[in-house]
Amino acid sequence: MKDVLRYKDFLGSVRFSAADECFYGKIEGVEDLVTFEGRDVGELKRSFREAVADYIRLCRKAGKTPQKTCRGSFNVRLTEELHQKAVRKSALLGISLNKLIQRAVEKETRDLG
């Protein structure tokens, strides 16, 4: 699993800046840019939780939904070979290519609830 922080259904990326000697990240899956940082892991986690709480509070005040809105439609870029395999697999299963991709995404996201 990639290095991420979790708090109240929010995910935060984790990076390290050798030049600044600090950890930093941003809240993923939101429309706005919300960043946080810390000199050590404990400080980074506290900063992330504070950033989430502040963001939720600001969204309530502005009357907007904190999580990024997903329309249920997106483009997927594949190699030609993988695209061909997916087309063949969907034909063998008797389902649409869209349904095959949906099943694959469902399988990969089961652990997120």
Hey, where are the domains in the chain?
4-62, 80-112
Q: What is the pLDDT of residue 89?
A: 94
SS3 sequence of the chain:
CCCEEEECCEEEECEEECCCCEEEEEEECCCCCCEEEECCHHHHHHHHHHHHHHHHHHHHHHCCCCCCCCCCCCCCCCCHHHHHHHHHHHHHHCCCHHHHHHHHHHHHHHHHC
Q: What is the pLDDT of residue 111?
A: 86
Rounded to whole angstroms, the Cα distance separating 103 from 109 reads: 10
pLDDT in tens, 32-69: 999 999 999 999 999 999 999 999 999 999 999 988 87
